[in-house]
Amino acid sequence: MSETTPYRNPQNIQINKSWCKGCGICAGLCSKVLSMDGGSKAFAANPSLCTGCRICETHCPDFAISIGVDVN
């Protein structure tokens, strides 16, 4: 019996808008992928450019960003 191994799908960027306080740290770290929505909330402007490094996820002080885990 084979096991499925979870992997990170970098195009599955999830931002919890209710947790995001709009500090802009993530957009500053990854300006090719993330941007600020009218200067108030982060959003994935170009998710296809995400490499899955998770620097935005690990530096978000509000834990509002997660790079999705898919099961293969």
pTM (predicted TM-score): 0.78
* Cα–Cα dist 26/65, whole Å: 9
* Cα–Cα dist 50/36, whole Å: 16
Can you give the residue range of the structural domain that contains 53?
19-71
Q: What is the DSSP letter of 56?
A: H
CATH number for the domain spanning 33: value is: 3.30.70.20
DSSP secondary structure, 43-61, as one string = EES-GGG-----HHHHH-T
- Does the residue 61 lie in any domain? yes
pLDDT tens-place string over residues 6-55 = 555 667 899 999 999 999 999 999 999 999 988 699 999 999 999 989 99
What the block records as the tokens of 67 is 């790079």
- Does the residue 45 lie in any domain? yes
